């Protein structure tokens, strides 16, 4: 079993997810998985679901790869690449059950905003790859990014904004850090149908 899918070696081939995991369990994709706290905790808690982490940074990719390998998690695969071509070329229509995005870089400067994950071309791909019953979640501490993202997400999905409270356990390293600092956290849940 190969933990890592490397499009630089294989090319951007369309993934056969049931073949990749050896089962037809639902596939959860995390974009920008960082050091992997959410992905690893979820994969351990839900062995009947499959998880794919797409992470651009080689440093973070190496950290998460080591952590996943150490735990012998068979329901995780990792891709170290920018998310857009990966979604566009490697995922079939309606092949994914959930997409999670925690604290994507806000790129606050106007000329850098084209790099944001929450932009129409990426949202369009997320919509395409999600199953009809599929859903997603986007979480940020950045008010301006949230304000810009909410109407965009609403163009592609049925969506609901919420603010996580003390009863919601933090899911990622950034969430732990930002909540300890007392920062406001904004969340959008969205559904294809």
CB closer to ligand SAM out of 133 and 184: 184
Identity of the residue, 175 or 192, whose beta carbon is nearer to ligand SAM in the bound complex: 175
From the list 67-75, 145-153, 162-170, 172-180, the region that binds ligand SAM by CB under 6 A is 172-180
Which of 145, 150, 147, 187 is CA-nearest to residue 168? 187
Note whether 145 and 118 are within 8 A (CB).
yes
Q: Which two tokens stand for residue 61?
A: 């990719």
Among residues 33, 81, 87, which one has the least CA distance to residue 60?
33
The nearest distance, CB 193 to ligand SAM, in angstroms, is 26
Q: What is the C-alpha R_g of the chain? A: 16
Has 141 been annotated as catalytic? no
Kindly state the helix (H) or strand (E) to which residue 67 belongs, with its residue range: helix 58-71
Per-residue binder mask for ligand SAM (CB under 6 A), 56-95, x = binder: xx--x---------------------xx------------
172 binds ligand SAM (CB under 6 A): yes
Given the DSSP bridges, would you call strands 158-162 and 76-79 parallel, antiparallel or unpaired?
Answer: unpaired
Nearer to ligand SAM, 39 or 73 (CB): 39
- The catalytic residue among 105, 141, 147, 168 is 105
> What does DSSP say about strands 50-54 and 76-79: parallel, antiparallel, or unpaired?
parallel
Catalytic residue IDs: 105
Query: Binding residues for ligand SAM, per CB under 6 A?
Result: 31-34, 54-57, 60, 82-83, 102-105, 117, 172-175
């Amino acid at each position: 079993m190969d933990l890592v899918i490397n499009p630089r070696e294989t090319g951007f081939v369309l993934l056969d997810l049931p073949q990749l995991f050896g089962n037809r369990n639902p596939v959860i994709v995390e974009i920008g998985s960082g050091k992997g706290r959410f992905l690893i905790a979820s994969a351990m808690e839900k062995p009947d679901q499959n998880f794919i982490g797409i992470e651009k940074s080689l440093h973070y990719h190496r950290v998460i790869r080591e952590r996943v390998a150490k735990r012998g998690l068979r329901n995780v695969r990792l891709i170290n690449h920018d998310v857009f071509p990966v979604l566009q070329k490697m995922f079939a229509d309606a092949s994914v059950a959930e997409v999670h995005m925690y604290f994507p870089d806000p790129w606050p400067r106007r000329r850098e905003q084209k790099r944001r994950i929450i932009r129409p071309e990426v949202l369009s791909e997320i919509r395409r790859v999600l199953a009809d019953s599929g859903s997603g979640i986007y979480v940020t501490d950045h008010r301006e990014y949230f304000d810009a993202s909410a109407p965009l997400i609403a163009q592609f999905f049925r969506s609901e904004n919420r603010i996580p409270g003390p009863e919601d356990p933090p899911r990622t390293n950034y969430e732990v850090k930002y909540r300890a600092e007392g920062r406001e956290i904004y969340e959008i849940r969205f559904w294809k149908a």
